[in-house]
A and B are shown apart, each in its own frame.
Chain A
Amino acid sequence: MLDLKRIPLSALIGLFLTALFLFAALFAPWIAPYGNGEIVGDVWGPMSATHLLGTDNLGRDLLSRMIYGARITIFIAVAATALSFILGSVLGFTAAVIGGWIDQTMSRFVDLLMSIPTLIFALVVLSVLPSTLITLILVMGILDATRVYRLARAVAVDINVMDFVEAAKLRGEGRSWIIFREILPNALSPLVAELGLRFIFAVLFLSALSFLGLGVQPPDADWGGMVKENKDGIVFGIPAALIPAGAIALLAISVNLVADWVLNRTSDLKGGRGNG
């Protein structure tokens, strides 16, 4: 069973910070001292007792913006990652199990998508399509799914040649049993580890899009958008842009620490109950 004492320190730090970010995201309206778009003070006011992180380029409370920003950033990243994993792993497993020309067609199509630089591809698509949350999540999810597809297919090809899969085929099992009951449980470890990394890439990708103005649209803002809003302050020595930037880095590091630990814990090929 999970034993708190056996978790390494780095993973504990990662878990604590990730939990903190998730808490802020879930309960944003209750813990934020001010509203998201509420103008409460001077432009780029300094840190003070009333505004713990100061105010932003329009005089809104930066701490409240950060908390609401966490909500938007994490929601979009989680949704896009979930979409990419469901899409990528199901298609990857299917390609591996069926093989033949279906595998070839799908794999070459994915190669085609991957040969276009992701950011440029997303910029072109998003500038044509209406900027809604759904489009954003779909574009991010589908582009990321190509990477998950590659991994899932590679893992499944290895598992597909094992005797227990052959035994299931000889029994007459259908494809869905083979994919979800024979292959998926054995492919979970590498996929879970990849999940953490893909989530971070989703956060970074979203931040980049928003910074370029094609992500979350004002007055809402994710952290990338907040860096963009406050970037002009840097030349005047105002640190407001550094705070969301730091939050992005901190989230990336803490999720990475957790993913590392999960990878260590589950990279046990023997199966069974897993290791410690």
Chain B
Amino acid sequence: MAEQPRKKVQEAARGTGTLLDIRNLRIEATVYPPGEDPKNVVIVDDVSLTVERGKVLGLIGESGAGKSTIGLSSMGYGRGGVRITGGEVVLNGRDILGDERGLRKLRGKEVCYVAQSAAAAFNPAHKLMRQVVEATLEHGVSSREEAEKRAVDLFRQLSLPDPENIGDRYPHQVSGGQLQRVMTAMALCSKPDLIVFDEPTTALDVTTQIDVLAAIKKAIRDTGVAALYITHDLAVVAQVSDDIMVLRHGKTVEWGDTRQIIEKPKQDYTKALVSVHAIDHEEHAPTPVPILTVDNVTASYGGGRVKVLRDVSVDIHPGQTLAVVGESGSGKSTLARAITGLLPPESGSITFDGRTLANRLADRPKEDLRQLQMIYQMADVAMNPRQTVGTIIGRPLEFYFGMRGAERNARVAELLDKIEMGKGFADRYPAELSGGQKQRVCIARALAAKPKLIICDEVTSALDPLVANGILKLLLELQAEEDVAYLFITHDLATVRAIADSIAVMYRGELVRYGPKGKVLTPPFDAYTDLLLSSVPEMEVGWLEKAISNRRMEAAGN
């Protein structure tokens, strides 16, 4: 008899259209800070949300906002030992939190998960098809034959090439963008009611992202599945979701429909997110004498077998920024390695400040090394974890200028002030800094050498939008103060617009477009620049459809 009312509740829930109802969710974890007693931290605090059948709710926030944790709670899962300590998660009319045993029936059948890194989420030892239909067979939703037929249909819907046979490949035999779509097919295969997308396009190139985004959007519409779409990129989420919830420090900041959040945000934090990248930067005219001239440089790996740079020539002018853009594999980082001497070019020459640089790093005098500094993408691994901030910034001072003791410490304090951190940080270790602070310390280390040129290799791509914005502003201020030139490598065109004076667009090792910013960003475009420019998500509802219909060229990763 007990079954009867329960079924009724379920049916009633279906009728009203509410699929997922999270009420006053509270999630905690225990952390073990070094040298202190273990303490409790609240990761998610009093968050409530509902998802209607067939609707998409976007969860957005910076790292640590609790968005992934909330997403996973919809399948009753706490990653990394976090505990759901309060609230209810009601799915299909029943509270899933109290029912440990029911979770196995729920996961992979009612709720499916699409992870950020498809490459890490697939088992490299099995063929794709076997993994795609696994959950379907496990739950006995359909026979293998039917499941595989459905998978092929889904591959077609997600516009994967050769949908009949792609399931016979292994994960390493398809590209990253394709793998992400295969994972979406995997999630859709068991006909779930809800899919949790956890930053599905963040790890992809901008030109690939747009295809995956369009495929996901189409698949959601065609199958009528509901989704939680987690990302830190407001422009991306605006394309796929019906509603958006903005989260910060585990609390809800704002929750409304997509149009309202993008066009009329109410909270200050949301306004900041929407207006990110609104840096005004006046383009400088090129000076008569460039500081660095790269002349017909060709470079390759493996003793000439793999050509990664072909006849690249660019100029950088003193106190100005050259942005090098392109997708992964375009050779932009290799250009930096050739300039620094880490990868001696095969032919061509590099002239710096009027003198020709030696090809090999080992042959360059100390003075050349001092004037040409580099900042890395991953600040965590660019600093020795066993050295304090004071040592990290102080070492170039010792090494290049022979500063010691009080003189050195005073200069370190001055540099820490410059990067808006203060001298109290000198005794900290890198592990005790936030992501943005780490990158600032790396900037200070580069500045300590008083360089004429700093190579910035994707310095903001690992950071949250607001933090990245702060770093870009700091770099521009420092450029004005110190008159240093930047070679700015990035795949993010919004960043380029914000800081560049001239732009070089690279594609498969070749320079396809190069010149002052105004000229490069003005039509007529060549096909690749057009693709690149049109692939950058804009904070505008309906941008995705417009962009797809206006394209002239297929993305390489497709």
Contacts and interface: CB of A to CB of B under 8 A. Distances in A.
A204 B381 CA distance: 40
B182 to A, nearest CB: 31
Interface in A163-214: 163-164, 166-167, 169-173, 181-182, 185-186
Given A163-B381, A163-B382, A270-B385, A170 B361 contact: yes
B369 A272 contact: no
Interface in A220-276: 269-276
Contacts of B386: 185-186, 271-272
B366 A163 contact: no
A272 B385 contact: yes
A275 B378 contact: no
A167 B369 contact: no
A245 to B, nearest CB: 42
Contacts of A273: 34-35, 429
Interface in B512-545: none
Indicate the size class of the contact surface on chain B. Answer: 20 to 34
Indicate the size class of the contact surface on chain A. Answer: 20 to 34
Interface string B356-392: 0000010010100110011010100111111100000
A271 B342 contact: no
A120 interface: no
B492 to A, nearest CB: 20
A185 B370 CA distance: 25
A186 B383 CA distance: 12
Contacts of B370: 172
A171 B395 CA distance: 10
B469 interface: no
B430 interface: yes
B115 to A, nearest CB: 23
B431 A164 contact: no
A266 to B, nearest CB: 11
A162 interface: yes
Contacts of B374: 167, 170
A161 to B, nearest CB: 10
B35 A272 contact: no
A86 B445 CA distance: 32
A116 interface: no
Contacts of B383: 164, 167
A49 interface: no
Contacts of A170: 340, 342, 361, 369, 373-374
A272 B429 contact: yes
B431 A171 contact: no
B342 A166 contact: yes
Nearest to B383: A164
B34 A272 contact: yes
A1 interface: yes
Contact of B430 (A1, A171, A272): A272
Contacts of A169: 342, 361
A270 B387 CA distance: 12
B396 interface: yes
B35 A276 contact: yes
A164 B34 contact: no
A1 B36 CA distance: 9
Contacts of A164: 381-384
B541 to A, nearest CB: 40
B399 interface: yes
Name, among B340, B387, B445, the residue most crowded by chain A CB atoms within 10 Å (CB to CB). B387
A271 B381 CA distance: 11
24 contacts: A1-B35, A163-B382, A166-B342, A167-B374, A167-B382, A169-B342, A169-B361, A170-B342, A170-B369, A170-B374, A171-B369, A172-B399, A173-B399, A182-B384, A185-B387, A186-B384, A186-B386, A271-B430, A272-B385, A272-B431, A273-B34, A273-B35, A274-B34, A275-B32
Interface of A: 1, 162-164, 166-167, 169-173, 181-182, 185-186, 269-276
Interface of B: 32, 34-35, 340, 342, 361, 364, 366, 369-370, 373-374, 376, 378, 381-387, 395-396, 399, 429-432, 445, 449
